C-alpha cells in the first residue's frame, strides 16, 4: 500500500516539548516568519489542534500569543490570517529569533545594519561620557574574548555580541540596553549571510575612545566599525515584506 503524500508540516512533527503552548508558539511563529503561509490560508483552531495533537486551550493560547506579537489577526467571517510584516513586533525576542531563517537574508542584513548605525554610535558616545569603571572593565573583557577567539578555539560571533552589548549597557541609558537582542540577532544574521567576523583592531578603536572619554571619537569609531561590515553589492534594502504581499 502506497504511503500517503507528505503534508507541509511533516518536517515539523517533532515533539513540542514539555511546555506545549510555547512549543506550538515556536513552531507556528517560525512557520509564519519563514513564509510557509504565504500562499495558503492559516489553519483554523480545530485544524491546528488536530495537526499538532494538542488541546484547544493550548492552541488558543499559542494563537493569542502570536496575535500579541503582531503575526496574526482574527477577522470576522474570515478567520485568523497572517499579518504583513509591517505589523509584526520586530523587537519581540521570539520574532528576532525567527527572522534569520527568512530567505531575504541580504535585505535583512542591510536593514539591521541601517538600524545599528542609528543606535550604536550614539551608545558608544554615551559610554564615553557615562561608563563606570565596572562598565569599562566589562567592555575590556569582551574585547579580550574577541582576541582569544581570533587566536584559537572560541566563538567569535558570541564574543562580538558580548562586546556590542557591553557598550549598550555602558551607555547608562536603559533604553539602549533594550536593543541587546536586536544587535545580537543582527550579528548572527551577518555571520550566517557572509561569514564575516569582527577584526580585533576595529573594536579596539571603539574601546580606546570610550576609555579615553572621547564621545566624538567613540561615535566615529563605532560608525566606522558598522560601515566597514555593511554589504557593498547592493543599495539600501527595501522594507522586509511578507512574501505574499510583495511584487
Encode pLDDT of 162-171 as tens digits: 999 999 999 9
Percent of the chain with pLDDT over 70: 82
Phi, psi of 75 (to 5 degrees): -115, 135
pLDDT band per the 50, 70, 90 thresholds, residue 89: very high
Q: What is the pLDDT of residue 215?
A: 98
**Kind and range of the H or E element at 75?**
strand 72-75
**pLDDT (tens digit, 9 = 90+) per residue, 110-153?**
888 899 999 999 999 999 999 999 999 999 999 999 999 888 76
What pTM does this model have?
0.77
* Residue 81, beta-bridge partner list: 73
The CATH number that domain 104-228 falls under is: 1.20.120.530
Which residues are paired to 72 by β-bridges? 82
* Residue 11 binned pLDDT confidence (cut-offs 50, 70, 90): very low
List, by residue range, all CATH 1.20.120.530 domains of the chain. Answer: 104-228
Please name the residue ranges forming H helices in 131-213: 133-151, 156-170, 174-177, 180-194, 201-211
- For domain 10-94, is the CATH number 3.90.420.10? no
Largest CA distance in the chain: 75
Closest CA to 35 of 10, 7, 8: 8
Cell 554615551, residue located = 126
pLDDT band at 57 (very low <50, low <70, confident <90, very high): very high
Answer for the pair 123, 167: CB distance below 8 angstroms, yes or no. yes
Q: What is the pLDDT of residue 4?
A: 42
Q: 232 exposed, middle or buried (CB, 10 Å; 0-12, 13-18, 19+)?
A: exposed
- Return d(Cα 106, Cα 237) in angstroms, integer: 8
Q: Where in the chain is the domain with CATH 1.10.10.10?
A: 10-94
The average confidence (pLDDT) of the chain is: 85
Please say if the pLDDT value at position 211 is more than 90: yes
Which DSSP letter does residue 200 get? T
Amino acid at each position: 500500500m502506497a504511503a500517503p503524500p507528505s503534508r507541509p508540516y511533516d518536517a515539523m512533527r517533532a515533539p513540542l516539548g514539555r511546555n506545549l503552548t510555547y512549543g506550538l508558539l515556536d513552531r507556528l511563529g517560525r512557520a509564519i516568519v519563514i513564509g510557509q503561509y504565504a500562499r495558503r490560508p492559516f489553519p483554523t483552531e480545530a485544524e491546528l489542534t488536530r495537526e499538532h495533537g494538542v488541546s484547544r486551550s493550548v492552541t488558543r493560547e499559542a494563537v493569542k500569543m502570536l496575535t500579541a506579537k503582531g503575526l496574526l489577526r482574527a477577522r470576522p467571517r474570515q478567520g485568523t490570517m497572517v499579518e504583513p510584516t509591517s505589523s509584526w513586533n520586530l523587537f519581540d525576542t521570539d520574532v528576532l529569533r525567527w527572522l534569520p531563517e527568512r530567505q531575504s537574508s541580504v535585505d535583512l542584513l542591510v536593514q539591521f545594519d541601517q538600524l545599528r548605525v542609528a543606535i550604536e554610535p550614539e551608545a558608544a558616545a554615551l559610554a564615553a561620557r557615562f561608563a563606570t569603571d565596572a562598565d569599562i572593565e566589562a567592555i575590556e573583557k569582551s574585547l579580550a574574548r574577541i582576541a582569544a577567539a581570533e587566536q584559537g578555539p572560541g566563538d567569535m560571533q558570541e564574543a562580538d555580541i558580548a562586546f556590542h552589548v557591553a557598550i549598550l549597557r555602558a551607555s547608562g541609558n536603559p533604553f539602549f540596553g533594550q536593543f541587546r537582542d536586536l544587535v545580537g540577532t543582527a550579528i548572527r544574521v551577518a555571520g550566517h549571510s557572509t561569514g564575516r567576523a569582527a577584526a580585533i583592531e576595529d573594536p579596539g578603536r571603539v574601546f580606546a575612545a570610550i576609555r579615553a572619554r572621547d564621545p566624538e571619537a567613540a561615535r566615529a569609531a563605532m560608525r566606522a566599525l558598522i560601515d566597514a561590515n555593511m554589504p557593498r553589492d547592493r543599495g539600501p534594502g527595501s522594507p522586509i515584506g511578507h512574501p505574499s504581499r510583495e511584487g
